[in-house]
Amino acid sequence: MKTKILEINPKKIDLAKIRIAAEEIKKGKLVAFPTETVYGLGVDALNKKAVAKIFQAKERPFNDPLIAHIADIKELYRLCKQVPPVALKLAKAFWPGPLTLVLKKSELVSGIVTAGLDTVAVRMPADNIALSLIREAKTPIAAPSANLFGKTSPTTAQHVVDDLGGKIEMIIDGGKTKVGVESTVLDVTVDPIRVLRAGGISVEKLKEVINQVKISKELEEGFRSPGMLNSHYSPQAKLILVEKKGDAQVEEIRRLASKYIAQGLKVGIMATEENQNKYDRIEVKVIGKGTELEICAANLFAILRSFDKEGFEIIIAEGLKEHDLGLAIMERLRKAAAPK
Ligand code: TXA
Ligand code: MG
């Protein structure tokens, strides 16, 4: 299959082009598109056969449920059996935006979207291309991140081409995504509300709107959200995350780097700007200032992918602060560093 690439300027949306992509969605085809977080691989969420193709293209197991993307809050009532007041409050506060709400599903939503669960994940993305596409397709769009299963999520159209070129009908190229990590997934069917995946909306921001939020334990999380344990955000290289502070962190990274270099391996370091000059003669890629976590989040996946493209065998990453977007970054780095 030849994958068509459709370039669309996000600042000046060409509706004729959006309609071409929307026609593909209506026909049950796969269209990758930008959102504010990462690129998604979209299909008509109400077309079961089309949804099945997502799992095939991504080589993703069927036990990993998908997010339904909507452009109008009214759709929430079509897709969900109940919308508790707190869900509406959160939707009003953060949509469109990088927040996914898990709610009891309605009859309309097929089990293939939800991996057989009685809940459905819904979000309204804050991206004009994504919103126009959903509106023109006149259907909710089910979309996981547009990467091969287990790989880091794509933040550019080129990343999508690298993983899914030749396997899907179309990719809308709308440039680099803004947030760079996926949406925060929030289970609002439980009390207190639970964060199943840290993401683009920080826990600090959530707490400005709701009193109590619980962050679920890794294992519980995996159980309630089957996809989360086996999604590894893995680069091909072996990733080592060093979570020490200050000088101890730098020293540990130097020690590890020397060890692997002595074994003849190609070693790279992902460092904050503040530390970039502390690793003489070892290749460093800068994620951003350690104090600018939004910028670090936006760069994270692209840097991991670029290490792979350049044939690095070992990536040693500095751990970052865990407040604000740092929590989402660290969750992903820990998974990427976990033994496979
Ligand atoms: O930012 C994002 O969320 C991106 C863009 C494209 O919107 N999408 C994304 O989708 O990251 P995906 O499929 O890669 O991750 C969705 C996560 C998975 O970990 C899945 O397990 C969880 O959401 N999820 C989906 N439905 C769920 C449900 N009913 N209950 C619990 N977790 C669910
Ligand atoms: Mg994903």
Go through the domains of the chain in sequence order and give each one's CATH number: 4-215 (3.90.870.10), 238-337 (3.40.50.11030)
pLDDT of residue 211: 86
CA of 221 to the centre of ligand 1 (A): 12
Mean pLDDT computed over 245-254? 97
Which ligand 1 atom minimizes the distance to the CA of 69? Answer: 7
Is the pLDDT at 99 greater than 60? The verdict is: yes
pLDDT of residue 125: 98
Mean pLDDT computed over 320-328? 95
Is the pLDDT at 228 greater than 70? The verdict is: no
- Indicate the top mutation candidate among 33, 179, 225, 332 to test ligand 1's pocket, ranked by most ligand atoms within 8 A of CB: 225
Mean pLDDT computed over 16-22? 98
User: Could you tell me if the CB of 37 is within 6 A of ligand 1?
Assistant: yes
What type of residue is 317?
A
Confidence of residue 234 (pLDDT cuts 50, 70, 90): confident
308 neighbors 262 (Cβ within 8 angstroms): no
CA of 212 to the centre of ligand 2 (A): 27
Please state the φ and ψ torsions of residue 145, each to the nearest 5 degrees: -60, 145
Is the pLDDT at 204 greater than 80? The verdict is: yes
**Extended beta strands in the chain, E state:** 4-7, 31-33, 40-44, 67-69, 99-104, 119-123, 141-142, 170-173, 184-187, 193-197, 213-215, 238-242, 267-272, 283-288, 314-318
CA of 277 to the centre of ligand 2 (A): 33
Is the pLDDT at 49 greater than 50? The verdict is: yes
Ligand of minimum distance to the alpha carbon of 163: 2
pLDDT of residue 190: 92
Mean pLDDT computed over 284-305? 98
Pairing between β-strand 99-104 and β-strand 184-187 as defined by DSSP bridges = parallel
CA of 329 to the centre of ligand 2 (A): 14
pLDDT of residue 220: 46
Cα angle value 98/34/10 (rounded, 5°): 105
Q: pLDDT averaged over the chain? A: 94
User: Could you tell me if the CB of 127 is within 6 A of ligand 1?
Assistant: no
* Dihedral angle computed from the Cα positions of residues 106, 83, 329 and 222, in that order, rounded to the nearest 10 degrees: -50
